[in-house]
A and B are shown apart, each in its own frame.
Chain A
Amino acid sequence: MIKEERLGQSEELIKLDELKPHRVVDLRGAVCPHPLNVIRETMRSLKDKEILQALCDHEPTAKENAPRFCKRRGYPFWVIEKKGVWHIFIQKIEKSQPRLQVVNVSKVFKTNYGKVTALDNINLTIHEGEFVCIVGPSGCGKSTLLNLIAGLDKPTQGEIWSNGNRVTGPGSDRVVVFQEGALFPWLTVIENVEFGLKILKVNPKIRRTLAVDYLKLVGLDEKFHNSFIHQLSGGMKQRVAIARALVMEPAILLMDEPFAALDVHTRETLQQELQNIWSESHKTIVFVTHNVQEAVLLGDRVIVFAKNPGRIKAEYEIDIPRPRRADAPEVFLNTKWITDDIREEMEELERKVEEVAYR
């Protein structure tokens, strides 16, 4: 008995009995987080139009994470269950336009002590609806990369493409949520959220309605709408900052350590809500953090940066079903796995975490 499950844009795919995989990988017995990472690495080595067959006995990977991986990239796929084993067929089709592309980007800063290479030849492709977390120690250039994507700074070398357009400056298709203190104290909460729309000359009535909607989405109580920023707690400020960014309807939401300054409890709440907002809005999110656990909890993909010079050290698909809880064993396992993998960089990170903890 073959139980079929067809979940993809399979019109583009050849018929099932004609499926001739170019590569077969056996992932039976592999536990999370490995299966999806093997699939990604194997897909990378395939040529255009070639097909991968993966045998897998880990249900969340087969039924949820692999399909989502394929949808993000626009790869046609089949998932078939046969005697408790899932056969996943994926055809590699190179889409011409990912949401965001960072191509051979380097950034060199000139300082009094000479040149510092903040970023060295970064290549990165981010797909529609993907939640990508960038982790690295301080000084690894992760925030610099975010600034380059935002268009606030120009790369020394290389190009950045957003939805097929070359990035030459800031644009409201890429809005940034900063760590803290980026809300305007001279405006009330709701005026802050309306700021970007006002710049775009949106009609005041529509502006107000949109601002109210998004403040509701981020869960800020209505009684704070006319408060001033210094009257809010740290968590509420970040909610407003997220609303202020989302109201612009950006294609990509860039987040620069948005929860780093919050206490543990508030951070966990906001992490959960960000997951909800993401799954409702299907935004593409690039999230910079120095906390591996946070990256694993939130990201579809975690990109680890190393420093001197700033570069991509490793990349991981996070194969955990959503919604994820901070205390879920898979989150712990993935965190440990990544941490072990990048021990050297981690020691640097831990020092940073301690500094933050003792602040």
Chain B
Amino acid sequence: MSRRLTRLILFYLILTGLWQGLYSLRLWPEYIFPSPVGVLKTLVAGFEDKTFIIGILISMKRILIGYGLSIVVGLGIGLLIGRVKLLDETFGSLVLGLQALPSICWLPLALLWFGLSESAILLVVILGSLFSIIIGADTGVKNVPPIYIRAARTMGAKGLQLYTKVIIPAALPSIISGFKQGWSFAWRSLMAAELLYVSLGLGHLLMMGRELNDMNQVIAVMIVIIVIGVVVDRLIFAKVENKVRERWGLA
């Protein structure tokens, strides 16, 4: 493990070194090709004057609300269409169709409905992650081995108990995968939506960098966005997913 870590650190050091070396050749002006030192300085300054922290908090608040709503609605719909054939044949096809639409394509609609507002961004985030979550829950429910349900029924489980004690636990690995994919779609959709107007989130900070011709800020904000995405994905979702898969004997 520590050997792997050493290699990783070494890799990034060399990468930064190459970057610095290329910068030292002065082939391009600073606003096109910034130095790692400049980016680091902007990062530190951004956190010191709290603009980055405010940006992160605003973006996090949006994603928590949007993604949270998505989970509630998506899980409900997914669990239903997984079990009810009529809903699956009708609503299920609609979900598959809408899943094919990149979520940022909802933005014009959201802007016409809600104007340049918080609600418009939330709508894009919700629609960005909703379908992955529905499909995850739906697939999970459809793939519950029928023998689990039959066994539970002979032991007296019925109705809602079948859902809470058998179907949901059995479908959990797939539900978590849907959550994970939904999260990364939600994060992407949020950043895309925030780029478009004065929204104060991380996306807006990125756009501000462009408007000020400040490539240091552009790269610095990109790094922040990547780090948040990776941390949530690797440290939260991947951990939970592995744990569930291991317990379910799928790993």
Neighbouring B residues of A198 by C-beta, 8 Å: 165
Total interface residues on A, CB under 8 Å, equals 29
Residue from the set B147, B151, B170, B172 with the largest chain A CB neighbour count within 10 Å:
B151
Q: Judging by beta carbons under 8 Å apart, are A185 and B247 in contact? A: yes
Tell me the chain A residues, 239-258 only, with Cβ under 8 Å from chain B: 244, 248, 254
Q: Please encode chain B, from 143 to 182, with 1 for each CB lying within 8 Å of some chain A CB and 0 for all others.
A: 0010110111111111001000110011010000000000
Q: Please encode chain A, from 16 to 31, with 1 for each CB lying within 8 Å of some chain B CB and 0 for all others.
A: 0000000000000000
Neighbouring B residues of A229 by C-beta, 8 Å: 249
> Which of A2-10, A37-45, A78-86, A168-176 faces chain B?
A168-176
User: When chains A and B are docked, how far (Å) is the Cα of A244 from the Cα of B145?
Assistant: 18
Number of A-B contacts (CB under 8 A): 67
Neighbouring A residues of B165 by C-beta, 8 Å: 195, 198-199
User: When chains A and B are docked, how far (Å) is the Cα of A254 from the Cα of B153?
Assistant: 14
Closest chain B CB from A226 CB (angstroms): 12
User: When chains A and B are docked, how far (Å) is the Cα of A231 from the Cα of B249?
Assistant: 8
Q: Which of B150, B155, B248 makes the CB contact (< 8 A) with A195?
A: B155
Q: Judging by beta carbons under 8 Å apart, are A184 and B170 in contact? A: yes
Q: Judging by beta carbons under 8 Å apart, are A228 and B155 in contact? A: no
Q: Which of A181, A185, A187, A248 makes the CB contact (< 8 A) with B155?
A: A248
Q: Judging by beta carbons under 8 Å apart, are B147 and A195 in contact? A: no
Closest chain B CB from A307 CB (angstroms): 22
Residue from the set A171, A186, A199, A228 with the largest chain B CB neighbour count within 10 Å:
A186
- Residue A182 interfacial (CB < 8 Å): yes
Closest chain A CB from B242 CB (angstroms): 14
Closest chain A CB from B36 CB (angstroms): 47
Neighbouring B residues of A181 by C-beta, 8 Å: 145, 147
Neighbouring B residues of A195 by C-beta, 8 Å: 152, 155, 165
- Residue A309 interfacial (CB < 8 Å): no
Q: Which of B158, B161, B169 makes the CB contact (< 8 A) with A184?
A: B169
Tell me the chain A residues, 179-237 only, with Cβ under 8 Å from chain B: 181-182, 184-187, 195-196, 198-200, 228-231
Q: Judging by beta carbons under 8 Å apart, are A200 and B156 in contact? A: yes
Closest chain B CB from A165 CB (angstroms): 15
Tell me the chain B residues, 166-205 only, with Cβ under 8 Å from chain A: 166, 169-170, 172
Q: Judging by beta carbons under 8 Å apart, are A178 and B151 in contact? A: yes
Q: Judging by beta carbons under 8 Å apart, are B249 and A228 in contact? A: yes
Residue from the set B156, B158, B247, B249 with the largest chain A CB neighbour count within 10 Å:
B156
Closest chain A CB from B249 CB (angstroms): 3
User: When chains A and B are docked, how far (Å) is the Cα of A150 from the Cα of B169?
Assistant: 24
Q: Judging by beta carbons under 8 Å apart, are A175 and B154 in contact? A: yes
Residue from the set B145, B150, B169 with the largest chain A CB neighbour count within 10 Å:
B150
- Residue A152 interfacial (CB < 8 Å): yes
Neighbouring B residues of A147 by C-beta, 8 Å: 150
User: When chains A and B are docked, how far (Å) is the Cα of A254 from the Cα of B155?
Assistant: 12
Neighbouring B residues of A184 by C-beta, 8 Å: 148, 151, 166, 169-170
Whose C-beta in chain A lies nearest to the C-beta of B150? A152
Q: Judging by beta carbons under 8 Å apart, are A182 and B248 in contact? A: no
Tell me the chain B residues, 109-160 only, with Cβ under 8 Å from chain A: 145, 147-148, 150-158
Q: Please encode chain A, from 80 to 97, with 1 for each CB lying within 8 Å of some chain B CB and 0 for all others.
A: 000000000000000000
Neighbouring B residues of A172 by C-beta, 8 Å: 154-156
User: When chains A and B are docked, how far (Å) is the Cα of A196 from the Cα of B154?
Assistant: 9
Whose C-beta in chain B lies nearest to the C-beta of A186? B169
Closest chain B CB from A313 CB (angstroms): 27
Closest chain A CB from B149 CB (angstroms): 9
Closest chain A CB from B174 CB (angstroms): 13
Neighbouring B residues of A171 by C-beta, 8 Å: 156
Tell me the chain A residues, 314-332 only, with Cβ under 8 Å from chain B: none
Closest chain B CB from A355 CB (angstroms): 21
Closest chain A CB from B195 CB (angstroms): 42
Q: Judging by beta carbons under 8 Å apart, are A176 and B150 in contact? A: yes
Closest chain B CB from A225 CB (angstroms): 16
Neighbouring A residues of B147 by C-beta, 8 Å: 178, 181-182
User: A152-B150, A199-B161 known; A186 and B170 CB under 8 Å?
Assistant: yes
Whose C-beta in chain B lies nearest to the C-beta of A181? B147
User: When chains A and B are docked, how far (Å) is the Cα of A193 from the Cα of B172?
Assistant: 21
Whose C-beta in chain B lies nearest to the C-beta of A188? B247
Q: Judging by beta carbons under 8 Å apart, are B249 and A185 in contact? A: yes
Residues of A participating in the B interface, judged by any CB pair closer than 8 Å: 147, 150-152, 170-172, 174-176, 178, 181-182, 184-187, 195-196, 198-200, 228-231, 244, 248, 254
Sorted from nearest, which 4 A-B pairs have the closest CB atoms?
Answer: A230-B249, A196-B155, A182-B151, A186-B169
Residues of B participating in the A interface, judged by any CB pair closer than 8 Å: 145, 147-148, 150-158, 161, 165-166, 169-170, 172, 247-249
| With A174-B154, A175-B154, A244-B155 already in contact, 11 other A-B pairs whose C-beta atoms are closer than 8 Å | A175-B155, A176-B154, A182-B148, A184-B151, A186-B247, A186-B248, A196-B156, A199-B152, A199-B156, A228-B247, A229-B249
A-B contact pairs, 27 of them (CB 8 A): A150-B150, A170-B153, A170-B158, A171-B156, A172-B154, A172-B156, A176-B150, A176-B151, A178-B147, A178-B150, A178-B151, A181-B147, A182-B151, A184-B166, A186-B169, A186-B248, A187-B169, A196-B155, A196-B156, A198-B165, A199-B155, A199-B156, A199-B157, A228-B247, A228-B249, A244-B155, A248-B156
